[in-house]
A and B are shown apart, each in its own frame.
Chain A
């Protein structure tokens, strides 16, 4: 796979490229509008949606606020059920653990269930470097892998591809990876799905090691849950002899009963179905059914740093449904790649800069990849106030301040490139706290208004490049008020 997010340009530069791609915009508009309407119908079926949403929020908040306790409880219950628990502080450690577990089996290939956590740590690339081939088995992940592409959506990583492009990728690449595409393959979705079925069946039947993530982990029982549609998940979770699951530490729910909330809200929010076709739940290992060895790798990789931020930690409630992507006007136009992370869209704009820090150009620009319209918050099934966190992160980028990186408190310096913004804000504060200066300034602005340029010079040029400057009135409001006593004297 050549797809990588390293060295991505800042969001505005990447987005400018993306919006010029008319095929991409067409594909995204079609897909997001299809799913939006369906989701609204699926949600409307449940009268208690808002109550389920609030319960989901409360369950996840409870998990996060006692995460140490639940992690220890989960470790105990998974171990008691026959699983082995590993802890990985960062991506490198997780990749090392998984590589060694695979090597210990003597195998050189693994089949994979779609997993955001393993995307995040670039597990496939790390395994490849150790001579282990990882085969993606989710249809969209397969399209991305065969196309040497990058994922652009949480749920449907190949959302940027239309059926014609997918057909081309299958015809061109399947033979390189295994069973070639059938002769005369058409671009109907049913035929493309059939081609994937034939191509992957061989791999499922011979696989000895499966790698997955999980949607939920139940602390009290040690149960892991994978929600899917195609059956590739079931194949990977039950046919191999060894199963390795890499899961973010925030994926815990405290009790078995808690699943009753998320198994109602997740399918309706993600694929807009009453229930997704397949959900697998397993607790450790079972005699004579499924893998004989089960390893759970608990992944931190920036999650505890995110947890340390009292405003930003709510991002860890995310259950990766991608409803926020599907309603976002910015995502719909810019596409997923511009976000420079496996987590695109509104949730990515608050998750990536927290998991990775705001040090890079792309991460510092992500909190601005939003018009703050709030549609993401409206649809979020765990009520993450994404606009609130975006504004909070913007402040952190501009002003700097305290944050936690890799477990250590650090003081971030104000970001470069926001000097004009900071200067403007300082000037505004100075003027607004000095009525005399404000009055003089306003009168001056009104008198000189015919001389004002249409665009701002210097650092403000980019801002005014896409916006009209507000017209300055002929008379400042306060002068008008004083002259007419608020309009009572009839003066206009």
Chain B
């Protein structure tokens, strides 16, 4: 007997007390979102919660966006900036550092030489201060938002903003590789006290763009 059959057999014997036709749907009486907010207030809550977990939040409009990205990069002064293949080119039109396009052949070691990365996102969650990346062309492979120490993430507001976790899951496609990011990398492993900055980007800048 294979282990698969052995385990499934054990499960079935263990559940001898469960009626075979039992099929009660799960009752979901919890809230779809917490509190009532206007679209504007939801965006404000996103900004507040992002900042609460030490992300740096900026607000701008699409016209000013290239200049803001230029300034954010200039403050760090990286020589190279990593960009995913489908990043709107106008976002980077004013930036000084040399753009490095992520390619399938780029090794982790090569990416480790690049200090900053600019991406878009799939959805942002106001109640938890979370941005979600789904590997779309403006976000790129998972590793590019992980290895560089400085991540600039552009969120289109209000279109990409939802209030809650349930609403975010409705928008996301499970077939895509998903990365949920809530602030910069952190740890609570020393005396259960939160410290920002371990393996992921230690600086997360979120640009809310109208």
Contacts and interface: CB of A to CB of B under 8 A. Distances in A.
B34 to A, nearest CB: 6
Contacts of A300: 3, 7, 10
Contacts of A196: 198
Contact of B169 (A66, A257, A307): A257
Contacts of A48: 29-31, 34
B185 A278 contact: yes
Interface stretch (B15-23, B61-69, B72-80): B15-23
B135 interface: yes
A81 B175 contact: yes
Given A89-B7, A159-B192, A304 B142 contact: no
Given A139-B190, A286-B135, A407-B13, A230 B177 contact: no
B187 to A, nearest CB: 5
Interface string A215-251: 0001001010000011110110111000000000100
Nearest to A162: B191
Contacts of B165: 260, 263-264, 275
Nearest to B197: A193
Interface string B1-43: 0111011111111110110001010111111001000000000
A388 interface: no
Interface in B183-210: 183-195, 197-201
A221 B14 contact: no
A17 interface: no
Interface residues of B, number: 70
Nearest to B27: A58
Contact of B197 (A45, A51, A52, A194): A194
Nearest to B8: A68
B196 to A, nearest CB: 8
B49 A274 contact: yes
B10 A156 contact: no
Given A204-B108, A260-B166, A72 B8 contact: yes
Interface in A358-374: none
A82 B150 CA distance: 33
A449 interface: no
A259 B174 CA distance: 11
B190 A163 contact: yes
Interface residues of A, dominant DSSP:
helix
Contacts of A52: 30
Interface stretch (A26-34, A101-109, A329-337, A470-478): A26-34
A282 B177 CA distance: 5
B119 interface: no
A277 B184 contact: yes
A261 interface: yes
Task: Identify which of A47, A48, A143, A275 gathers the most chain B CB atoms within 10 Å of its CB.
Answer: A275
B112 interface: yes
A35 interface: yes
Contacts of A264: 165
B14 A274 contact: no
Given A55-B30, A277-B184, A308 B14 contact: yes
Given A201-B112, A238-B142, A275-B129, A192 B4 contact: no
A239 B110 CA distance: 12
Contacts of A288: 104, 141
Interface in A297-349: 298, 300, 304-305, 307-308, 310, 313
A: interface residue count bin: 35 or more
Interface in A268-296: 271, 273-283, 286, 288-290
B108 A289 contact: no
A234 B146 contact: yes
A286 B183 CA distance: 26
B184 to A, nearest CB: 7
Nearest to A407: B10
A167 to B, nearest CB: 10
Task: Identify which of B184, B188, B195 gathers the most chain A CB atoms within 10 Å of its CB.
Answer: B188
A109 to B, nearest CB: 15
Given A162-B191, A206-B109, A274-B49, 15 more contacts: A35-B188, A58-B27, A65-B22, A88-B3, A139-B187, A156-B188, A193-B197, A205-B108, A275-B165, A276-B182, A280-B142, A281-B178, A290-B141, A308-B14, A310-B17
Interface of B: 2-4, 6-15, 17-18, 22, 24, 26-31, 34, 49, 53, 104, 108-109, 112, 125, 127-130, 135, 141-143, 146, 165-166, 169, 174-195, 197-201
Interface of A: 27, 30-32, 34-35, 45-48, 51-52, 54-55, 58-59, 62, 65-68, 71-72, 81, 87-89, 93, 137-140, 143, 155-156, 158-159, 162-163, 166, 189-190, 192-194, 196-197, 200-201, 204-206, 218, 221, 223, 229-232, 234-235, 237-239, 249, 256-261, 263-264, 271, 273-283, 286, 288-290, 298, 300, 304-305, 307-308, 310, 313, 404, 407
26 contacts: A35-B188, A58-B26, A58-B27, A88-B3, A89-B3, A139-B190, A156-B192, A163-B190, A221-B175, A230-B200, A231-B198, A234-B199, A235-B146, A238-B146, A256-B169, A271-B188, A274-B53, A274-B129, A278-B200, A280-B180, A283-B177, A288-B141, A289-B143, A300-B10, A304-B7, A308-B10
